[in-house]
Copies of this chain bind each other. A is one copy, B any other.
Amino acid sequence: MKVIPIFELIREDLECVERKMREVSRIEYEQLRATLDYLLGSGGKRLRPALVLLSSKFYPADAEKVTSLAAAVETLHTATLIHDDLLDNAFLRRGNPTLNATWNSVATVLTGDYLFARAAAFAAETKSVRVVSIFAQTLMSICGGELKQIFGSDQGQTTREYYYQRIYSKTASLFAASAETGALLSEAPEPEVQALRDYGYNLGMAFQIVDDILDLAGDEDELGKPVGSDLRQGVITLPTIYFLQAHPEDEAVTRVLSGRYGGDDEVRTAVEMIKESGAIESSTAEAKRFAARSRDALSTLPHNEYRQAMLDLTDFVVERRK
């Protein structure tokens, strides 16, 4: 198993989580098993299970329950990706064909549902009602955020406040829940549980901002997807918000966002305009502010190798190129 260097410290734990997740696949029908193996093994960075594991390390914890929780979090994440792909009609994720590109939508919806159920069952294995409750609330936040995006009267909103709400639902809520529930399964005192939740929240916000920056300023080969896909889908991200605020008279970017664009050239022009406007730098500064807050949140925790790994993880999230 390949892990990013920071996670060498918890490599064995991550391998247990990997095995636990594969238990999903022990079902009779061959075609589904192969597909689940493919999905569960398609090379995510395992940031969320790592957050669970690291957050559980400061005080004594039951390793088996922590493994179940980490598997629950990553399985839930995988389930949401499956439905997202269907919804986005995104045919590439991590450079591999997405499930709905090869399968039909019936199977996609059901496989996602099945993994939701499996995630809930893993969460229940922690025997902690509080963990299960946080877990359910987080899934509601994720789905509620997406529904709001579709139905909200605030569609096309270009405020940072709205953007932050959206990326909280989409990403930071699960990061926060991963760190909080990991801590809850240990004997951590309540203030430290909250500190770890804060860490996860701010890390998740920084992570998503960087993701949105890379969609415009990243390398297509490294990302495994075309640049500017958010723009193409009409999704307004932080760099675009900065750009539009500085250029209220803009037509080129707005046209791409609204779907009324002629071809790839127009998208590329819009991307270049945003990149040249200083919007990437402003967004990076924002990501760094969240990163700094995530580091600050760790100040009251015992100074040990796990805390150091979490500090390193924050650096990794901000500095990554894919």
Interface residues of A (CB under 8 A from B): 27-32, 83, 86-87, 105-107, 109-114, 116-118, 120-121, 123-125, 127-129, 132-133, 135-137, 139-140, 142-144, 146-148, 150-153
Chain B CB within 10 Å, residue with most, of A117, A129, A146: A117
**Bound complex: CA of A218 vs CA of B212, how far in Å?**
55
| Alpha-carbon gap, A27 to B152, bound state (A) | 11
Residues of chain B contacted by A129 (CB below 8 angstroms) = 124, 127-129, 132
Q: How far is the CA of A146 from the CA of B31 in the complex (A)?
A: 14
Count this chain's copies in the assembly.
2
A270 CA to B257 CA in the complex, in Å? 53
Residues of B within 8 A of A112 (CB): 109, 113
Bound Cα distance A113, B139 (Å): 8
A144/B109 in contact, CB under 8 A: no
For the complex, what is the distance from the CA of A142 to the CA of B116, rounded to whole Å? 12
Specify which chain B residues have a CB less than 8 angstroms from the CB of A144 in the assembled complex.
Answer: 27, 114
Interface-central residue, A30, A83, A109, A118, by most chain B CB under 10 Å: A109
From B27, B140, B153, give the contact of A117 (CB < 8 A): B140
CB distance from A289 to the nearest CB of B (A): 28
Given contacts A29-B148, A106-B150, contact A121 B143 (CB under 8 A): no
If the complex has contacts A29-B151, A107-B147, are A116 and B139 also in contact, measured as CB distance less than 8 A?
yes
Q: Note all chain B residues with C-beta closer than 8 A to A148.
A: 28-29
> Which chain B residues border A139 with CB–CB below 8 Å?
113, 116-117, 120
